[in-house]
Amino acid sequence: MQKIGVFVCHCGTNIAATVDVEAVAEAARHVPGVVYATDYTYMCSQSGQDLIKDAVKKYGLTGVVVCSCSPRMHEKTFRKAVDSVGMNPYLLEIANIREQCSWVHKDKEIGTKKAIALMKAAVAKAELDSPLTAGETPVVKRALVIGGGIAGMQTALDIADAGYDVDIVEKNPTIGGKMAQLDKTFPTLDCSSCIVTPKMVEVGQNEKIHIYSYSEVTNVSGFVGNFKVTIKRKARYVDETKCTGCGLCTEKCPMKKVPNEFNLGLNNRSAVYIPFAQAVPKVATIDPNYCLMLNKGVCGLCSKVCGAGAINYKDTDKEIEVEYGAIVAATGYEIMDVSKYDEYAYSQSPDVVTSLEYERLMNAAGPTGGELLRPSDHKRPKTIVFVQCVGSRECDSTRGGKPYCSKICCMYTAKHAMLTKDHYPDTDIYVFYIDVRTPGKNFDEFYRRAVEQYGVHYIKGAVGKVTPENGKLIVQASDLLMNEQLTIDADMVVLAAAIEPSHSARHLATMLTASMDTNDWFTEAHPKLRPVESPTAGVFLSGVCQGPKDIPETVAQAGAAASKVIGLLSKDKLAGNPCVAHSDEMMCTGCSQCADVCPYGAITYVDKEFRMRDRTTKVRRVAQVNPAVCQGCGACTVTCPSGAMDLNGFSNSEIMAEVDALCR
């Protein structure tokens, strides 16, 4: 006979306000098999846990049911508690009477009724629970960071600092990311290059860090502690080990009409190129879309001038497979395409630019050498209009609009306005805003400085139409506080376009089985308590790939992700999850349906000899589950037509018992 204890948590008023917790405990006392039931204000507190431990000892409990919050919250806590007094942790069940009951009901009577039903279901399952023991797997002591922007670099540096090997996979020829393209950073106005390029050098020189630049992750298999990752090293037609980065090839290359992506196409580069002077690795890359030798078989100039003999026109994409214990996604963001917002005339005038393009136009290493000249006629703009929230905070996605606030635009626009005024005090600057959002240390002071000290015209309103005409941009806008429609003859218009996740992120998330929200930002395991972990064990999140962030926040999160990785890599072995599937070979018909639905590739088929009743032997094809790879999702158990697949801890009989209890 089982001896079950039931513990009902008030969670302050979170549960107790909508559920009569005493009534739940009282109802439990009448459930067959329950020998003890009680309620308590905070079951997760030390004294709450002691209550459970004492009862286990006093009543010799064989199973425990805690009626509380979601198991995602405190299942671990309570399992640890019963484990400490000698009970197998898998004999504990949680009845979620908070998220799935008290929080969704208003009526106490209904809430209580439902809580009792959930409690009874959990008791029914607990009666069938059997002790489970987790296996152990070794941990590969190497981490992979996907993305080499400030987030990825910081994560890699922090992991390396703890003594572990880290690889960075970066799709571009150089690390550095968006931060390398910025001019100054808010709110301190320190030079972005001056703080990011030393970081890049540090990463490049760190013995523990290996950079796979111009590379992409193409496949991920395995599980926490034991990932196998395929990395495609795209053909760069230059031998990285030989190239000295002297740049002679880039000077001599006759094909100089390639849009320069580092300057967002505001000027051109050569077909063989080094993205910028401080690139890491400082190695040339040949752009196969434009190289005359690769396309037409004539030229070969770069090969002739290269003293190191690094050019290799026969280079091909190569794939390598590497094992990792942990993976960090640091894929960052892109600027949204604003061509569908052409009432702002971005596609109709070169003088309408995005904020990142404006950043390049102000940058000393940019296409104008830091002198602010508008793209159409290289004249200095006297009147500039900044438009906020282009594509952000929209509920209609027809034009690609985003429902979220991009978070960084208010601050960088204040920065752009001030820097412009600093260099050219006679410039007239208008900023059209919906709200100015500047929470953050010294942020609002920064924005107020733009208004009060620099005289930037902040106008609560929007731009409705930009009409390029006679060398001007006629801006039609609203001033809501004045209830007016304005017309401004501007020389430039700068659009604070929404930021969106890297376009490679969705594909990567699929490979990592990491979840994403509807906007394609990576989802964290818990929005408050586990912000740098993905719900998939061993996969961590760093920087903007999880949601819009500024640089300090990104760096802080990058460090946090690194500390989680270090915590994982510091273990020699990982306790596995014992709640894995297994197949009853006698019942298995070898149909393969389980293997087809398994998202982790944990199921294989083997030919096995079976003794038949008539003493003959027969070879049958049966399913086998690799317990180290299985994540216990249960897809195979519901797919199996013969009922051969079952899941430890969530067996078919346990689930049926729960359902029976609920239907009773």
Using CB under 8 A, list all residues that contact other proteins: 339-343, 345, 347-348, 389, 393-396, 398-399, 401, 434, 460-470, 476-480, 483, 485
Q: How far is the CB of 405 from other proteins (least distance, A)?
A: 10
Minimum CB distance to other proteins smaller for 472 or for 620: 472
Q: How far is the CB of 410 from other proteins (least distance, A)?
A: 14
Minimum CB distance to other proteins smaller for 88 or for 376: 376
Minimum CB distance to other proteins smaller for 105 or for 460: 460
Q: How far is the CB of 438 from other proteins (least distance, A)?
A: 17
Minimum CB distance to other proteins smaller for 271 or for 490: 490
Q: How far is the CB of 621 from other proteins (least distance, A)?
A: 49
Minimum CB distance to other proteins smaller for 348 or for 453: 348
Q: How far is the CB of 482 from other proteins (least distance, A)?
A: 11
Q: How far is the CB of 407 from other proteins (least distance, A)?
A: 16
- Nearest 5°: phi and psi at 301? -65, -40
CA distance 474 to 490: 6
- The residue ranges of DSSP E strands in 521-616, in sequence order, are 539-541, 573-575, 581-583, 603-611
CA distance 386 to 418: 12
Minimum CB distance to other proteins smaller for 291 or for 352: 352
- Nearest 5°: phi and psi at 281? -70, 145
Q: How far is the CB of 348 from other proteins (least distance, A)?
A: 6
CA distance 287 to 484: 51
Instruction: Give the H/E segment covering residue 563.
Output: helix 551-569
Q: Mention every residue, 6+ apart, whose C-beta is less than 8 A from residue 232.
A: 215, 216, 217, 218, 317, 318, 319
Instruction: Extract the tokens encoding 288.
Output: 């196969």
Q: Mention every residue, 6+ apart, whose C-beta is less than 8 A from residue 268.
A: 256, 257, 258, 259, 260
Q: How far is the CB of 628 from other proteins (least distance, A)?
A: 49
Tally of CB atoms within 10 A around 472: 15
Minimum CB distance to other proteins smaller for 114 or for 402: 402
Q: How far is the CB of 123 from other proteins (least distance, A)?
A: 45
Q: Mention every residue, 6+ apart, whose C-beta is less than 8 A from residue 521.
A: 501, 545, 546, 547
CA distance 649 to 90: 7
Q: How far is the CB of 388 from other proteins (least distance, A)?
A: 9
DSSP assignment of 201-246: HHHHH-TTEEEE-SEEEEEEEEETTEEEEEEEE---SB-TTT----
Residues constituting the chain: 664
Q: How far is the CB of 465 from other proteins (least distance, A)?
A: 6
Minimum CB distance to other proteins smaller for 460 or for 571: 460
Minimum CB distance to other proteins smaller for 401 or for 576: 401
Minimum CB distance to other proteins smaller for 347 or for 519: 347
Minimum CB distance to other proteins smaller for 414 or for 466: 466
Instruction: Extract the tokens encoding 529.
Output: 């308590």
Minimum CB distance to other proteins smaller for 381 or for 461: 461
DSSP assignment of 425-472: TT-EEEEEES-----STTHHHHHHHHHHTT--EEEES-EEEEEEETTE
CA distance 511 to 600: 10
Q: Mention every residue, 6+ apart, whose C-beta is less than 8 A from residue 126.
A: 2, 4, 63, 64, 65, 91, 92, 93
- CA 609 from centre of chain: 46
Q: How far is the CB of 336 from other proteins (least distance, A)?
A: 13
Q: How far is the CB of 349 from other proteins (least distance, A)?
A: 8
Q: Using CB atoms within 10 A of its CB, is residue 89 exposed (0-12), middle (13-18) or buried (19+)?
A: buried
CA distance 659 to 619: 38
CA distance 351 to 439: 31
3-state secondary structure 74-93: HHHHHHHHHHHCCCCHHHEE
Minimum CB distance to other proteins smaller for 330 or for 493: 493
